[in-house]
C-alpha cells in the first residue's frame, strides 16, 4: 500500500522505521506537528519524526491544523491507501479521515477499551496495572473508540517508569503496526468493534496530578513517581520551593516517620507516607539538575522534623 505516516515524538520513530523497512509498502509522506521551540535557547526544532523522515528522503508535511486546505489538497494528491498514526498530537477532522481508501489506523499504547486518551501508559502505571500493551484500531471521530485490528501485551515491571514502559511498547507496537498494514493489504485482518465494558479514560497528566500526597500509602506514592517519570515529573515542596522526585523506592520495614517527615542517613534519605516510608533516590531542586537525594539532603542541611509537602 501507499502510506502517509502521521506521528510526532520519539516514541513514534520505531513504527516509522518498521514501515520504511517493509518491502510491501511505500511511505510516500509523513505528517507531523510544526516545529516547536526547545532547549534553553528556545530555538525552533523539528519533531523526531520529521527529522527521521528527512533522513530517509521522505516528504514531510507540517500543517498547523490538519483541516488546513493546503494540507488536505496535498494529501488528496498523494492519494494514500492507508494512513498509519502514532502519537500525532492533533485531532483529525472527518474531511481528512475520508481521504485514504482504507482509513487512518492508530497505534495506541493500551489494551483498548482500557485507557482511551492521551496518557495511557502513565495512567496504567498510576493505577497499579500489572499488564498493558498496544492496540491498532481504525480511527473514527470518537476518542480511541474505533474497531481494533490487533493487540500485543506487555508486562509492567515493578520498577518501570512511564518512560521505560513506553520505550518497550514503542518497539513492540512498531511490529504490530507493520503486521496490521500487511493484514489490511492482503485482506486477512478485519477490525473488531471494541467491547462496551471495560472502558477507562486516560487524559493528559496535569502538573497537579503529579503532585505527591505524602498522606497516601507508600505504594500510591511509588506509582505516582514512576507514572510521572520522565514527564511531567512527580513533585512536592520543600521550604516553599518545588522539588521533583525522579526516583524512589518503598521501604516496608521503616514505619517510624510521619507523612512527609524526612530522615537523613549517611547514604540515604527517607520520607514518611500514610503507610511506611519511601527512600528518595534522585531529586531535582528548582532550577537545578537532577542529583542523588542523599547529596541534595547534605547540601540543604535538613533539620530534625522537617517535612516535604
> Do residue 40 and residue 8 come from a single domain?
yes
- Whether 127 shows a pLDDT value over 80: the answer reads yes
In a domain? residue 308: no
> Do residue 233 and residue 175 come from a single domain?
no
CB 90 within 8 A of CB 34: no
3-class DSSP state for residue 224? helix
Q: Is the dihedral of CA 91, 96, 97, 103 positive or negative?
A: negative
Query: What is the tens place of the pLDDT at every residue in 35-57?
Result: 999 877 889 999 999 999 999 99
Query: Residue 184's pLDDT is what?
Result: 98
Annotated binding site for (6S)-5,6,7,8-tetrahydrofolate: 110-113
In a domain? residue 10: yes
Residue 153 — pLDDT band, cuts 50, 70, 90? very high
Q: Distances from the Cα of 179 to the Cαs of 5, 12, 46, 102, 174, in angstroms? A: 15, 16, 28, 15, 9
- Please list the alpha-helical segments (H only) found in 22-68: 48-55
Average pLDDT, the chain: 96
14 φ/ψ sector (left φ>0, alpha ψ -120 to 50, else beta): alpha
Query: What is the tens place of the pLDDT at every residue in 255-281?
Result: 999 999 999 988 999 999 999 999 999
What global pTM score does this model have? 0.94
Q: What is the mean pLDDT of residues 5-19?
A: 98
CATH number for the domain spanning 148: value is: 3.40.50.170
Query: Residue 75's pLDDT is what?
Result: 98
Annotated binding site: 110-113
Residue span of the structural domain in which 218 resides: 208-300
> What's the structural domain count of the chain?
2
> Do residue 155 and residue 235 come from a single domain?
no
> Do residue 69 and residue 218 come from a single domain?
no
In a domain? residue 20: yes
In a domain? residue 179: yes
How far apart (Å, rounded) are the C-alpha atoms in residues 238 and 113? 40
CB 117 within 8 A of CB 209: no
> Do residue 237 and residue 99 come from a single domain?
no
**All residues at 6 or more sequence positions from 68 whose CB lies less than 8 Å from its CB, including other chains:** none
> Do residue 147 and residue 27 come from a single domain?
yes
Report which of 84, 58, 78, 75 is spatially closest to residue 5, judged by C-alpha positions.
Answer: 84
Amino acid at each position: 500500500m501507499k502510506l502517509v505516516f502521521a506521528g510526532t515524538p520519539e516514541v513514534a520513530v520505531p513504527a516509522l522505521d518498521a514501515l520504511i523497512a517493509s518491502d510491501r509498502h511505500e511511505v510516500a509522506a509523513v505528517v507531523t506537528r510544526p516545529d516547536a521551540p526547545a532547549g534553553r535557547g528556545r530555538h525552533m526544532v523539528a519533531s523526531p519524526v520529521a527529522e527521521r523522515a528527512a533522513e530517509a528522503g521522505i516528504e514531510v508535511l507540517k500543517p498547523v491544523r490538519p483541516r488546513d486546505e493546503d494540507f488536505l489538497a496535498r494529501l488528496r494528491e498523494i492519494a494514500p491507501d492507508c494512513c498509519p498514526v502514532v502519537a500525532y498530537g492533533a485531532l483529525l477532522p472527518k474531511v481528512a479521515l475520508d481521504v485514504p481508501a482504507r482509513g487512518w489506523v492508530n497505534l495506541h499504547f493500551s489494551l483498548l477499551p482500557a485507557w482511551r486518551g492521551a496518557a495511557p501508559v502513565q495512567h496504567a502505571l498510576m493505577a497499579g496495572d500489572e499488564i498493558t500493551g498496544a492496540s491498532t484500531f481504525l480511527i473514527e471521530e470518537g476518542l480511541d473508540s474505533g474497531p481494533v485490528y490487533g493487540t500485543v501485551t506487555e508486562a509492567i515491571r515493578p520498577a518501570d517508569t512511564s518512560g521505560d514502559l513506553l520505550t518497550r511498547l514503542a518497539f513492540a507496537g512498531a511490529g504490530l503496526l507493520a503486521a496490521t498494514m500487511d493484514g489490511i493489504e492482503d485482506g486477512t485482518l478485519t477490525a473488531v468493534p471494541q467491547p462496551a465494558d471495560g472502558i477507562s479514560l486516560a487524559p493528559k497528566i496535569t502538573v497537579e496530578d503529579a503532585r505527591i500526597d505524602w498522606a497516601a500509602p507508600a505504594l500510591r506514592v511509588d506509582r505516582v513517581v514512576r507514572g510521572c517519570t520522565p514527564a511531567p515529573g512527580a513533585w512536592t515542596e520543600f521550604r516553599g520551593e518545588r522539588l521533583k522526585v525522579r526516583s524512589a523506592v518503598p521501604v516496608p520495614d521503616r514505619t517510624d516517620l510521619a507523612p512527609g517527615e524526612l530522615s537523613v542517613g549517611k547514604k540515604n534519605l527517607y520520607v514518611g507516607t500514610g503507610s511506611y516510608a519511601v527512600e528518595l533516590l534522585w531529586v531535582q531542586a528548582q532550577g537545578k539538575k537532577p542529583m542523588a537525594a542523599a547529596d541534595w539532603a547534605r547540601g540543604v542541611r535538613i533539620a530534625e522534623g522537617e517535612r516535604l509537602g
